[in-house]
Structure 1
């Protein structure tokens, strides 16, 4: 499971990096076009979509590498077994919450696809971006599931 999680998170992180580069290029081209001619309409819309993809696709990798802020001033003083139990509890609650977020994003994307929802400026379909964000949150849930399992193993072995 860990190898699968790592592969998924790395692929998503690579795509997030490409999206970030696309954002930089789009903004740079738009700035130059403003100086010479008319700017590209819809830049802020596309940058917003790409930002959502960058954030969602980076979550799983950040979780697997523990690249997030964690305040453990009190927890660090507890016995190892209790620490692992609290970590499992926090990861399980996080998993439940973000699983609901992912599920609602998949449902919202499906509804947007059925209704043919389009963006305001460029009139492009919205559901592909919503599905990409849902995919990122689903991968994040896999990383959280791995954390729950790992923490529970530490509870049993300590």
Structure 2
């Protein structure tokens, strides 16, 4: 009977170990995907920022000799939104956001960790919901045929791009949450 109990304990520990190994490998894969997606989005954000600078400089130069480029404010506004949204996930991965944890520091370390993990998870849900709602809004704008005010062009693709940017942030927050749960990482 004693031997049976030992075998059960070994099997139980083996299952627990197998679960941790499997979860860790899934987390590593998710981490790589999140990093690649957000690096790609960050490159696009950088290109959008460069395009804004070139557009504004070209507008200033052309304004001296001719009339300004129509819709520069509208185009630079769209590109600025894309720049900001596409950089969010990359910034989260590299801990570039301002982290205000004055209240959190007052808690004991054993409580601080779970609260921080919960905050990451809630943030992931929030930004995932923003991404989802932006996609719905883009679809509704596409169906209604909405046009921009100055240039009178369709603008729903830009809303879809914003949804993609917030999805990148939600993906990086999901990865951070799982890192906390599986590896017990601390920020």
Q: Normalized against structure 2, the TM-score is what?
A: 0.79
* 172, 176, 180: which one aligns with 1:143: 172
Shift of 1:85: 0.6
- Residue equivalent to 1:101: 130
| 1:89 alignment partner in structure 2 | 118
Question: Larger deviation: 18-27 or 70-79?
Answer: 70-79
- The gaps in structure 1 that reach 5 residues or longer are none
**Cα displacement (A) at 1:76:** 3.9
Moved more, 75-84 or 29-38: 75-84
SS in 1 for 2:52: helix
Contact 1:57–1:133 (Cα < 8 Å) also in 2: yes
Moved more, 59-68 or 90-99: 90-99
CA contact (8 A) 1:5 1:142 kept: yes
Deviation at 1:62, TM superposition (A): 0.6
More off after superposition, 147-156 vs 52-61: 147-156
Q: CA deviation at 1:99?
A: 1.4
Q: Deviations over 1:40-66 (max 9, x none)?
A: 010000000000000000000011111
Unpaired stretches in structure 2, ≥5 consecutive residues: 1-29
Does the 8 A contact of 1:113 with 1:127 survive in 2? yes
**TM-score, normalised with respect to structure 1:** 0.92
